[in-house]
Structure 1
Amino acid sequence: MAGLELATQPDVLSKCTILKYKSTDNPLGPTQTFYILGTAHISSKSCSDVQKLIRQVRPEVVVLELCRERTGILQPAEPEKHEKLQLRELVASWRAGNTTLFQIVYAFMLRQLGDAVEVQPGEEFRVAVLEALEVGAKLQFGDRSLSITIARVWAALSAWQKVKLVWYLCVTGIMVPDAKELNAFMDSMKDTDVVTEAIKELGQEFPQLLQPLIHERDQHIVWQLRLAATKATKIVVVVGAGHLPGIRANWDNPDIDYEEITRMPEKKTSIITWRRVALVSVSGAAIAALCFRLRR
């Protein structure tokens, strides 16, 4: 696999990482060009860039940083109805043992951020789907299954670290800045993927999270791009900007162990039950919220 980043080109192409790949399994041609656009996820500018890129390149395939479990994000409901249903469904799923507290808190934080900047999480993916339909491009999901990612995150942490993580996310979630502050922050970061940056910051406190949340997913995306190279010559890729370094680093990596990074870890027994984890986490969040309100 020969990776070659082309010279910067005008317009929206100047914002892309453009890489070449040679697949002998592609009947359309021996060389494939990838136009990889790194987005900020919660940014109207990113949505506009996605639209312009697909219209300009007119690819045969569009790859999204999504998995099949997250396709619901492509069908946004009415804000109030969506908020109530999502929270109710997540809690019901957690009670049934199908969802972790991490997923609930993460979804809550993303929704808060989206409400603050008036752009719902995943908007750039919805734009990509519409534009792909317009140019006749096929869609491909490049991210790893959410359930596998969450399971591997959970498996990487000790029982105490899990309690500490949920507590940390709860406290962080209630301290989201207002719209003006958040938009200023977004402008200062420009092409940076705020979600990945937040994960990296979280990784300073919980270094075990970086492997399953970022590095393994980078490899999974590259693996999926290699599959896309067998059926198209022009491929547009829409991912968080934070994944770009990992995609570049793994572009020529012959040692990606796809079987390992998609393996569901075995469930471990623990002295601390998840009901106790939930009790400690929710209690901690309530105390933190109360303290935060009293300070205002």
Structure 2
Amino acid sequence: MEDGSTSGDVPPGPWGLSIQYDDAVDLPAPTVRPVNPVLPDTVTMLEHAPSGGRVYIVGTVHLGEKSQEDVAATIRTVKPDSVMLELCTERLDILTVDEDEARRALSPLSELNRKHFHILAQQLGVAQAFRVFWALKQSGQHAKNLGISGSDMRTAFREAANLPNCTVLLGDRPQSITHQRTYGALTLWEYIRHLWIAVRDLCVHWNISQDDVEKLKTSAFLEADAARMSAACPTVQRAIVHERDVVMAEGLKWFLAQPVMTTEGPRSRVMVGVVGMAHVAGIQRAWNRPSLSQNEQKNLFTIPPTAKWRERAPVVVKVSWLLLCGYITSRGGRFLANLVR
């Protein structure tokens, strides 16, 4: 067994943020911590040789009850000094969502119809309205069947609050940067393929059940899905999955390198990381590689130039629409002229 002790504040990492619970000092500190804890099979333990610390990564899906149970069991058993979440400062509101209220609010979205689509199209344009419309409908359907996305993160946040001086850390890249690195550099062909895959997946996973959610966590499914996305949309897969794997692995290494200060001196840090199951294998691959240089870290947060076709697309759409209207008017005029004759 391992002696427990009180941890101090952890300074924010290169892309992380620490959240310290002021009321946690009133709780009793753990006296022991298991060396070889019995944990759910969704947990992967990684050791950080330079510091002697270790992290227990819980692979989750962001919907459903089983992942919540795995997260809660792991944190209660390990009693970590810090908990790292697959979140960024732009998504902090996920942690404070009232799930019952949100479920009542989102469930009616599954009933959106053509009238609502037309309203969105007038406000956003047809292409953007299409994506938003189906995303809203799917969110409503999932809210009815499974609950609100992010339940695993909220569970980790609550469990960490119940531990003395446990610090919550945000280890993901800002969502806005990921979005711009994903879609800003897509070629026209990649954009079309990505849109097609997104629509197809919406149809396949429309009425997903809890059993279906658990199947998404299997290694066979994850490997097949990663291979499919890498072949169809390598830019999307690289920005949304591979780059964020590296960001979170580097963040975990940085956090583990910060020792816990105790009355008996510094000791190695023990952490729990809560990430989507699709990121676990990539974090493992990045774990044993040399740490990134400052330039390599900077590159992961650099927004690439926007693809030229996206700058020209609005003009092309408008010109195409005018040409189509002109063609229809011309054909209609000829038809009327023939009728008059």
What's the TM-score, normalizing by structure 2? 0.63
Picking from 131, 142, 150, the partner of 2:179 is 150
Correspondence 1:245 to 2:273: no
- Distance in 2 between residues matched to 1:62 and 1:174, nearest whole Å: 35
Amino acid at match of 1:67: C
8 Å CA contact 2:90–2:175 kept in 1: the answer is yes
- Distance in 1 between residues matched to 2:86 and 2:149, nearest whole Å: 12
8 Å CA contact 1:17–1:36 kept in 2: the answer is yes
Picking from 280, 298, 302, the partner of 1:259 is 298
Q: What's the CA shift for 1:253? A: 1.5
Task: Output aligned runs, 1:98-109, within 5 Å.
Answer: 104=132, 108=136
Picking from 225, 230, 235, the partner of 2:257 is 230
8 Å CA contact 2:72–2:159 kept in 1: the answer is yes
- Distance in 2 between residues matched to 1:249 and 1:113, nearest whole Å: 35
Q: What's the CA shift for 1:215? A: 0.9
8 Å CA contact 2:86–2:172 kept in 1: the answer is yes
Residue by residue, what CA displacement relative to the aligned partner does 1:224-251 show, whole Å, maximum 9, x if unpaired? 1022113351100001122111111111
Q: Which residue of 2 aligns with 1:287?
A: none
Q: Which residue of 1 aligns with 2:194?
A: 165
8 Å CA contact 2:185–2:307 kept in 1: the answer is no
Cα distance change, pair 273–178 in 1 and its aligned pair in 2 (3 A): same
- Distance in 1 between residues matched to 2:180 and 2:167, nearest whole Å: 30
Q: What's the CA shift for 1:210? A: 1.5
Q: What's the CA shift for 1:145? A: 1.1
- Distance in 2 between residues matched to 1:51 and 1:134, nearest whole Å: 11
Task: Output aligned runs, 1:78-117, within 5 Å.
Answer: 78=101, 79-81=103-105, 104=132, 108=136, 111-112=139-140, 114-115=142-143, 117=145
Cα distance change, pair 235–102 in 1 and its aligned pair in 2 (3 A): farther
Q: What's the CA shift for 1:116? A: 5.2
Task: Output aligned runs, 1:65-80, within 5 Å.
Answer: 65-77=86-98, 78=101, 79-80=103-104
Correspondence 1:49 to 2:90: no
Q: What's the CA shift for 1:266? A: 2.5
Q: Which residue of 1 aligns with 2:54?
A: 33
Q: What's the CA shift for 1:140? A: 0.8
**Structure number with bigger Rg:** 2
Counterpart secondary structure, 1:38: strand
Counterpart secondary structure, 1:62: strand
Amino acid at match of 1:145: P
- Distance in 2 between residues matched to 1:193 and 1:74, nearest whole Å: 31
- Distance in 2 between residues matched to 1:46 and 1:225, nearest whole Å: 21
- Distance in 1 between residues matched to 2:303 and 2:156, nearest whole Å: 30
Cα distance change, pair 81–274 in 1 and its aligned pair in 2 (3 A): farther
- Distance in 2 between residues matched to 1:52 and 1:15, nearest whole Å: 11
Amino acid at match of 1:63: M
Structure 2: runs of 5+ lacking an equivalent:
1-34, 261-268, 322-341
What's the TM-score, normalizing by structure 1? 0.72
Q: Which residue of 2 aligns with 1:184?
A: 211
